[in-house]
Structures are given as C-alpha cells and as structure tokens.
Structure 1
C-alpha cells in the first residue's frame, strides 16, 4: 500500500479539533467541569486563606492589589483564595501546581491578573516594581510535569497572559511565518490556519499534547515531531517587556519601519533572544514562528527491536541517518513498556514487591501488542518515490545490525495503534491521545526527568541502565523516551506517581533528586526540570566554579534591580533573595519561608 501523501492522512485534515467544553485554564472551575460542584462546596465550607509574598503584610498586599485593580480593572484581578482542585489537562487550575510534588499549598500565588496587551503587561511590571511584589507570568499554564501554573515564590502574583492575549496577529502565507501572542495554543493555531484556508499548505509542529502555548513551549525550548521539531530554532523575532517595564523588540523588529521582523531573526549587534528562554529576564508578549510548507507527502513507520540490549545498536544506526538528513524529523526511540502504557494500566501487569512491573510480565504484554523491547518512530517527507527509497535504505541499515528488527507502516497496524496518532503529530495535526497514559495509575501525575545524551549507543545505554536501576530501587517503573536530534538526544523519562499518596510523592521526590545527582556524577545535565528541582539542577552546571550562574546573576541584578520578575526561575535568584533560605537543595517537604500564619484573610474591595 502506498503511503498517505499530500495532506498525509487519508481522512484529510479536520477543520476543528474536538475538546471538552471546560477546556481552558481557570482560577474558578468552569460550570461544565466535572470538579465544579466540589469546588463550589469547598469554597462555601472553608474559604482558603491568601498567601502573602515575602516582605509584605496583609495590609500592604491589599493596598498593592487594589492599586493593580485600578490599573487593569477590578474584574481582571482576583485573589487566589479558591480551593486547590487539581482538575485535569483540560481544566488546568491557576491556583497551584496540579501535579504537586510538595504540599499542594506550597507553590501558590496570592492573586491572578489578566493583562489585555503588551502595554498592560508593562504597566503591571511597573506596578510590581513600585510595590516590590514578585510576579510570575504564564503563557497558558499547561507546563505540567515542570510546575504547571505555579509560581516558585509563594505569594507571587500570577500574570495569566493566555486569557486575553491569545490572538494570531498575522500570517504571512508567502513566507510561511506567523506572529502570535502568548495565549495561542497549538490547537488554536492549527484551527486558525484551517479557518483562513491555508491549513493544507502551511503546517505547525505540535508536541505530544496540543493545549499548551506555542510561544511558551518554544521559550522553554520544547520539542515536537516534524522537521521543525526544535521549536526555539524556528522562532523569529520577539516583543519583550523588561523587568523594569520597558518594551523592546529583538532582531529586525528593533528598527522602525522594518518589514523583516519575522523574516530575519538576528538584526545588528548582539543577539539577545536566547536570554529570554528558560529565564527571568523579560516577559515575551509577541513572537514570530516559522510554519512548515506541505512537503508533498509523508511516510511514517515504526521499527520494533526485540531485545532491551538492542538500544545500543539502534542508536548507532540512527545517528548517521540523522547527521546525513536521511531522516528529516525529530524521531524517537522509546521503551516498549512506555509504548504499552498507552494501551494498558499498571494493573494489567504482574508487579514485584517494590511495585515494579516484572520483566516477564512486560515481555508478555509487548508480544501481545506486537511491539518490541524498544520501538523507533520516524517520518520521511517528500514525494512517494523519495520516501520509499529512504524507507528501504533505512530498513537495510537496521537489518544489517539488528536482523530481527520488525517494520510497520500504518496499513500494517490496527486502528487503535499509536502509529496512526504519530502520523497526525508528524503532519502537524493535534491529538489528545497521549492523555491515555494518565490512566497508568490512580490519581496519576508525573514529573519529567529530562537529561541530555550524546547521540551514540554507549551513552544511551549507560543512561537507560543507570536510571532504570535507580528508579526501580525506589519502586518506580522506568518509562523512557529518546527524542533524537542531529547530534544529541533528549532522554525524557515520565515519572508517574499518585498525587494523593503523600508517602509516594515523598518517594518520587527523593528518587528524582537521586537521579539528578546520578546524572551529574557522569557529566549529564537536564535541559528542563520542575520548579522544586531547579536549584539543584542549576548547581550541577558547575564548570569553572559555577561561572555561568555568576554571569546569570549579574544579568539578573542589572536587568531586574528590584528582583520582581519570577525570582528563582531556573535557579536564578535576585540579590535580595540569595542565601536567605529560598533555595531548595533537597530533603525539603515544603519550600522554605512559608509564612507562619499560613496565609491571611483578604478581600479586594475598593
């Protein structure tokens, strides 16, 4: 059977992507949400107290928030005194980290505000400097597994940029670029391109789940699956509010009247864009993104490797295919058990006394699903004759080193197989399929442990074996995926735990801290991590006595003299916070300096 070409899917590209009516971020649960009644009951029975930021009293915070309400309008500033309802991916709470690994009430804001545009963001930043209130901007708040919508410093004011700043500002069809605001989700950008009639010709790159911010994911240097899978590499021009309230544009946008803001990212002189990724040096309010022209055909396939030890040879085959651009997307190799978690729950397996899936039980299910100990997913782009030639060449390379490799295309697998969803990812069509993984255990939440690996079999095998052993020691299943770049790989491990089991959360936190230390001991660093772990991870980047952190702190103090913007983000603390007990190095059950009175009763009435 020929591959699905042109629009890549025989069923075509849908105009709209279905989602529940409560899809969105919320401080108060939407009335259609499954958690609305519980939220209403808890709010009526026991109104939660408001967290107060460092250096403030109830009175000074109230005065400050009233001032902010006068700037933005009272309806756009709300106290965070709501029940801490975890919701789900579609109903992400702005009140706290719904995938909490510490106490749920730890990383909470005092209030949430909703600016309407760049100018209101600037006014809010000026307000924060005036009152010395820490602020925490969000694009959407679906950075689940890394902290969600929670601020690092308890009592900060969250700026939700996704509610009102959610517009696609421009699409340049001829040059295949767009200009967007922070609240544009992958799913809404996809639908917008469909609505203006260019969705078949211009594609987006989507991550596993499409409810997150296109801008936010790029600023966190996230990845997707198409040739544009390195999201940050495909941004082009930004508008930024500095920590003192100035508005700047980077690249060609810094020139009055330039028509090349979304066409050439560098401009003249130093290139500033990178300092606004994973940082607390500015608030990005507009960003250009490149769009992928329809390549004329896509062939997706899966290769299954029968033995766990085959990982080494598999990566050795893949590396030259990536460097030589035979494979043009961001492919992945993931553990067969991770693949099986889309179809099964942990209860479908036999567990040992630690709660870890027994190898023989995993093997039985893997054989039942007709998959492998490791599976490789990739996509080839271009006309049929081009992708067929590449596919046959790839098969030859694998069979030369792993003779028992099995290959599958869409026509070879049943309707519910993940390969069909992978075909959607790799053609820029959003899907919610990855949410099935949250059925693995009851009350499932996850952390992501995300170290980098060199693109070679030796390093991949060493990491997989080391991290698997450590996780099983703590009673967790290793569920790892290697997202493969040209010369390096993101080794993303989904760390599943029951968020309502306090003992299991403590165990998960201890385990991931041990993993960070293990990785550092062999010179391996994480590219991204949860709020509670950022101090520890930042400290592992310690070459030349931690010179890079000293440089980051110099930038922070110069750009943000009052230390109001996202203190603690990526382990970068303002001078007034450093060494005063805010850092989390390990062993804490709550973050330090939680106020003794555990919040204060406030009202926002003029």
Structure 2
C-alpha cells in the first residue's frame, strides 16, 4: 500500500485505477508497490525528507494512444498524474511529483527521433530522447549539425526546453529554438501547434507561429497538457570554432565584466550563451572543500586565494566562443580583447593553454554541442551525500545588478553556513544567475538550513525586483506568490486556464504553483 494517497482517493479506487492502467501499458510498465523501483522516483537532491515527494505509483506509456487511455482512467477516478520526460531535472525536483501520493506519468519509453533534417537544420523528437541520444544519432548519420545540450547530457531535449533550460552554443535559448509541438490535452484531445495544425503541412518545423494565437508557451512550465512531440532547430556545423576563457582576480570585477559584455552580447559579437563563473563553481569540478578547509564551513579568503593559485582560476572566469571562418574569428577576437581584456588583471586562455583541465574541457565540449556529465562533479564539493538545489533569479546585464545579486546571495549563504557556488549565464539582455546551493543531504541540519536560506533568498530577491525563472518543487508556491502584480492577475489567469482545460485537475497539480480548483479550495 502506498504511504500516501490524495485525500479524495480511497485505496480501493487507487488500486482499481492502477489495474486499469496496467491493462493499457502492460504489467512491466507500472510500479505500485513501495520498494527500490518506486523509490527511484524520489527526489535524490531534495532538501526535504524522502517521503515528502514520493509518488504512489508510476505508469510508463509508449505512444499517444496509451496516453489518451491513461488520461481517461485518471479522469474517471480523479487520479493526479505528474508528467516527466527523462526525470533528470535534478536540483529542481528530478522525477518526483509536487505532492506525495501522486502518480508519475513517465514518458521515457517514448524515445524516438522521428526526423533529423540536415537541409533545414532541425530534429523532431519525442519526450524520452536525451541529448546523448540525439548527439550520437547525428554523429552516426554524419550530419553536419550541432545540438545545444544542457550541462547534464542525460537530460531530455524536450523536457529541458519545456522548463526554459539554457545551453552553451549560439542556440542556447532552448525554448526560442523549438518549433512546433504535439500536445495531448487532459480530455484526450490531440493538437499540433503552429504549422502543424495544417494537414499535410510542409513547414511544421520551419515556422513557429502558424496562424492565429501562438499557444506553445502555455504548455511550457505548466500543467495544461502532455507534450508528446517537439521540433528543435539545430545549428549548422560552422567552419571554425574558437573557445576562450578569461580569468579575473577580484570579486568586484563582476561589475566591469558585466558592463563590458553587454554590448558584445546585444550586438551578437559574442554569439553564444556565455558564462561568468564564480571561483568555487569552477573549483568544485575538480576538488573538494575538505582539501582547503573545514568541510562544514564556508572557506575563508586565504583558502580562496590558494585555490586560485593551484588551479589558475580567477574569482570570476568568463567563458565564450567564436564561430565561423578563421579570419572572421580573429577579427572578432580583437574586439573582444579590447573590451574584456581592458579590465586590470584579465588573462586570456585558449585550448592549447588548458587542455586536460576538467573545468575547461567540459565547457569546450558544451560550447560545441557535445553533451557530457562532468558538471555533476560539483556534488562532491561538500562530501557525504552531496546534493544541490538551484536558486535562479534573472538579472539585467548590468554591473550594478550583478553585484547586488552576488553580494546578497553570498552574504546570506555564508550566514547560513554555505559557500557561494554560482554562475551567470549571459543572454542577449538578461542573465540567468544560478546559485547552486550545495549541501550534504545526509545531514538533517544542513537540509534545514538549506530550506531556510532558500526561503530568505526568495523574499529578498523579490523585494529587490528579481524573480526566479525556475525552481525546486518545494518552493514553487512561494515563488509563484512573488509574481503578484495587480493582485496576482497572471496566476489568476493561469488558474482559469487550468480549470477550463483540466477541470478534474489530473495533470501535474501544483506545477509552478498552478493548482486545480478543488485543491485551491482545500488550501483556502
């Protein structure tokens, strides 16, 4: 018997629904008994106890028809389903549902690459397709195309895109690079967005907008439907590639770096998703805190200087790349040197300078579309059962804002006994500031302090006018509550859409703070 079930669902109803789902997908593709298989769907990085987000069952369909049948059963019994693609969204909840007792709808079996078109540079994929899988397929076929992977290569291409994930090449804004979706609504209706709604369409993966309102966005970071196919644009392999890194010695250099990089990004002089990376994020890829100090306390300045010296790192480390014919890259590099090299103490590094350095090597791969798993080394930083949750506010590409966010987060992190492991992913006009709150999950006190710190950061960021772009399950409601302009008009609209499209509230209740009517009434 599951440890938890939704309040409105009796054990008899639950087992009847599970039996009917088993008849749809086969007995091998339903997990309903508490044990290692079911517990593999817990959130391994959760700052809460394991059972806080433990599902009651898992069902894994293989195709749209099976999804439709499962949705009908879920509607009949009002069984809440939490949809996952690969379940690798660690630091934000992994495969776990928002509430204990909900059923995970695992789409990992739907892992077909339906098309890769070299002429136009796109792929059409199902939810279970990973970055590794798509990369290997393209390499095997010999196509001159690059993918844009997230840092963990085992993640879902479709899933990361729906969560507004970012990458490292010029195609680093993943949702911007999607083109066309197939979606199953809660009532089983199947629709295709954009040009896909035209029978015999020739342009589904070529033109994003179609005719009439553009609906793709309402199916990202939401619980309004189950996305079963997605088109993704792929980057043509360029004639040249020049990755580089610049180290900076002082904390306060973040201001000057951000001011210098803004015009380079807005003008697309630097074309890819560049990163300004803090010292300890870089160091955590190849060393541990215990090697430089007390494993349970933030490192002092003396230890930071030792790390900088040992690993040829800066307090800030800027990564970017240039693409194209060599003469063009050489000329562009002169512009970059003039801007970013004018900051005192700046040191440029290229492949011949750092080859074999794990921190350098994995980013060089990512910026040329090669997926890998190196960044997961970060969890070794604190020792024990290393885990992390990511606090991810958006910042303007403005030095004053970057410093304000950095100082706010670092000060609070140190106050609660944590190091600042952070980076700024530099977009065209914004930066995704990702603070990786890394803790020993086996230590109950560290988990408590991590939760308290995260809640403080949400409040302080919102007060300063900074909102997060995604978050862990435990903090979805709180962050949704900060987006409250005009008496929360946006979330009221989200709830109206939820009630219209999913009146029984079966799809991912609580996703991003969007709850079905009957669960909102319970909370009230």
Shorter-chain TM-score category? over 0.9
2:513 is matched with which residue? 571
1:192-218 alpha-carbon deviations (Å, 9 max, x no partner): 1112221xx111001111000000000
2:377 is matched with which residue? 436
Q: CA deviation at 1:80?
A: 4.3
1:386-421 alpha-carbon deviations (Å, 9 max, x no partner): 111111221111233x13201000111252242222
1:36 is matched with which residue? none
1:403 is matched with which residue? 344
The one of 298, 301, 304 aligned to 1:362: 304
Do residues 77 (structure 1) and 20 (structure 2) align? no
Residues 165, 183 of structure 1: 8 Å contact kept: yes
The one of 14, 24, 38 aligned to 1:61: 14
Match runs of 1:515-526 below 5 Å: 515-526=457-468
Do residues 313 (structure 1) and 313 (structure 2) align? no
Residues 179, 233 of structure 2: 8 Å contact kept: yes
The one of 160, 178, 189 aligned to 1:246: 189
2:116 is matched with which residue? 171
Q: CA deviation at 1:239?
A: 0.4
Matched residues in 2 for 1:410 and 1:423: separation? 8
Do residues 148 (structure 1) and 94 (structure 2) align? yes
Matched residues in 2 for 1:301 and 1:72: separation? 49
Matched residues in 1 for 2:483 and 2:92: separation? 19
Residues 107, 128 of structure 2: 8 Å contact kept: yes
Q: Which moved more, 1:411-420 or 1:389-398?
A: 411-420
Residues 124, 231 of structure 2: 8 Å contact kept: yes
Could you say if the C-alpha distance between residues 571 and 80 of structure 1 is closer, same or farther in structure 2, counting changes exceeding 3 Å? farther
Do residues 131 (structure 1) and 73 (structure 2) align? no
Unaligned runs of 5+ in 1: 1-47, 87-92, 583-606
Could you say if the C-alpha distance between residues 552 and 49 of structure 1 is closer, same or farther in structure 2, counting changes exceeding 3 Å? closer
Match runs of 1:187-586 below 5 Å: 187-198=132-143, 201-351=144-294, 355-400=297-342, 402-441=343-382, 442-581=384-523
Could you say if the C-alpha distance between residues 388 and 85 of structure 1 is closer, same or farther in structure 2, counting changes exceeding 3 Å? farther
Matched residues in 1 for 2:180 and 2:38: separation? 37
Do residues 52 (structure 1) and 35 (structure 2) align? no
Q: CA deviation at 1:502?
A: 1.2
Residues 53, 110 of structure 1: 8 Å contact kept: no
Aligned length: 523
SS at match of 2:50: coil
Residues 46, 389 of structure 2: 8 Å contact kept: no
Matched residues in 1 for 2:170 and 2:270: separation? 9
SS at match of 2:476: helix
Higher helix share: 2
Matched residues in 2 for 1:287 and 1:533: separation? 28
1:547-591 alpha-carbon deviations (Å, 9 max, x no partner): 101010110001011111100000001000014249xxxxxxxxx
Q: Which moved more, 1:237-246 or 1:387-396?
A: 387-396
Could you say if the C-alpha distance between residues 85 and 313 of structure 1 is closer, same or farther in structure 2, counting changes exceeding 3 Å? farther
SS at match of 1:460: helix
Residues 182, 285 of structure 1: 8 Å contact kept: yes
TM-score normalised per structure 2: 0.97
Matched residues in 2 for 1:396 and 1:175: separation? 36
The one of 107, 113, 120 aligned to 2:66: 120
Could you say if the C-alpha distance between residues 108 and 392 of structure 1 is closer, same or farther in structure 2, counting changes exceeding 3 Å? same
1:182 is matched with which residue? 127
Matched residues in 2 for 1:73 and 1:501: separation? 40
Matched residues in 1 for 2:94 and 2:376: separation? 16
RMSD: 1.5
Matched residues in 2 for 1:422 and 1:231: separation? 17
Residues 57, 102 of structure 2: 8 Å contact kept: yes
Q: CA deviation at 1:100?
A: 1.8
Matched residues in 1 for 2:490 and 2:11: separation? 38
